[in-house]
Structure 1
């Protein structure tokens, strides 16, 4: 089925909570049809879909592990069937694990973090490329990778593996942006700082943002909606000459 609404389609991986959910809701307000992927929280994903539908836009949620190539293909097949197009990909799905020093981090955790945070965006971008690129008879598009200030800061004593996986994502952003710049695809990166999301609970410290907020020059943590606005600016024609760029949303940190 083709996208009868004619609206642009944005895919947000990890769109059931936090920055992903905020981006989905704001995208709908700005006129996008929305597809999100989620890993486990189907109730939250369906709530996002309901909110998008309430704006008059179309929406689907597809369960997909970003680290699994077969599930990623299924995700994009679902988008092809429902919308017949993809205009913007937001590689937002990510994970952290319990705060640890390196000597306490196991090999399996390292593998999983890189699979989700580094390889997952490459798998999704590969599928988007096949649909967006001029060389594949596409009409162009935008890819936005969601990194982290930890890629610059390193997260010592807490998440050096997470920080390293985001560093890999940033290197991919640079290379991929140059690779497809003449094929109608812009590739940029948003680098959030300390944002109030549920992810911190996954690291064992739900109140982490409040603990570290004095280290932020602006003296506060950020809200998911503030990151969402940066993502959607990069997705828009207002950023038409920006590719391979990094936009920090860190409160100055």
Structure 2
């Protein structure tokens, strides 16, 4: 007797049958790119936000389109209100009403002791990580409200919000603590409107962020401190992010999902 055929999961769709559209900030590389790929495979229409690296974002968009996905590019600086409005308008013009926002764009600044940190770098970290998350969330909430959408926002935090990252980037850790507090407060504020807000807090992940922070070989140094003995892949972080978008997570809001190998 043959085994019953496996039932394929239904594609996420808006009430009118169109794909649920999500905007991923910093979506051209690293964790953001992995989120875009997985979301597209799961049937979401994806708007890839990028700041400078148009080539990487366009390659990813071409890859998603070649696999049959619906995708567009939305250039803009998440730390600038005018840019945020423009990139949301671009996403909606190409994909229709937005269902989800992934606040993934983030920077660390250079590794080192806080007393030696460049004040301009500290301000830029907060402008991108905290103000960027807030600007984009406000833009998403406005569009959810205008369309009557019960949307989802997923913010990218970091295990640094717990470990505090002394001697490496205390200011970055503080910015991610702010993201987690914002996640909980906003979740409670908009829950009655049917909007969910959660966060995923990755541990150290194999992306270009280590080289950008000034220590390309940092993964070799930090891996032994992780209970699982290794760094995450971007795909391992993308999985809980995209799951939080899904109806399977329909009773989760205000939650921070730690994905840090045991830390």
In which range does the TM-score fall when normalised by the shorter chain?
over 0.9
Larger Rg: 2
1:42 counterpart residue number: 54
Match 2:104 to one of 68, 89, 92: 92
2:175 counterpart residue number: 165
Match 1:129 to one of 138, 141, 153: 141
2:218 counterpart residue number: 208
Measured in 1, the distance between the counterparts of 2:52 and 2:229 equals 34
1:155-234 to structure 2, matched below 5 A, reads: 155-234=165-244
1:147 counterpart residue number: 157
Deviation at 1:5, TM superposition (A): 7.5
Deviation at 1:156, TM superposition (A): 0.4
TM-score (norm 1): 0.95
Deviation at 1:95, TM superposition (A): 0.6
Partner of 1:87, secondary structure, is strand
Measured in 2, the distance between the counterparts of 1:152 and 1:179 equals 24
Q: Which runs of 4+ in 1 moved over 4 A?
A: none
Q: Is the 8 A contact 1:178 1:244 kept in 2?
A: yes
1:10-29 to structure 2, matched below 5 A, reads: 10-29=22-41
Partner of 2:69, secondary structure, is coil
Gap regions ≥5 residues in structure 2: 1-15
Measured in 2, the distance between the counterparts of 1:208 and 1:69 equals 34
Please list the CA deviations of residues 46-75 of structure 1 after superposition, one character each: whole Å capped at 9, or x if unmatched.
Answer: 011011112212111122111010000100
Partner of 1:225, secondary structure, is helix
* Alignment RMSD (CA, Å): 1.2
Measured in 1, the distance between the counterparts of 2:121 and 2:163 equals 20
Measured in 2, the distance between the counterparts of 1:93 and 1:241 equals 26
2:67 counterpart residue number: 55
Partner of 1:11, secondary structure, is strand
1:46-85 to structure 2, matched below 5 A, reads: 46-85=58-97
Measured in 1, the distance between the counterparts of 2:165 and 2:111 equals 10
Please list the CA deviations of residues 17-71 of structure 1 after superposition, one character each: whole Å capped at 9, or x if unmatched.
Answer: 0000000001111001100111111110001101111221211112211101000
Q: Is the 8 A contact 2:204 2:219 kept in 1?
A: yes
Please list the CA deviations of residues 114-167 of structure 1 after superposition, one character each: whole Å capped at 9, or x if unmatched.
Answer: 00000101000001001113xx45221100000000010011001001111111
Gap regions ≥5 residues in structure 1: none
Measured in 1, the distance between the counterparts of 2:100 and 2:67 equals 19
Measured in 1, the distance between the counterparts of 2:110 and 2:177 equals 19
Measured in 1, the distance between the counterparts of 2:259 and 2:122 equals 26
1:9 counterpart residue number: 21
Q: Is the 8 A contact 2:74 2:88 kept in 1?
A: no
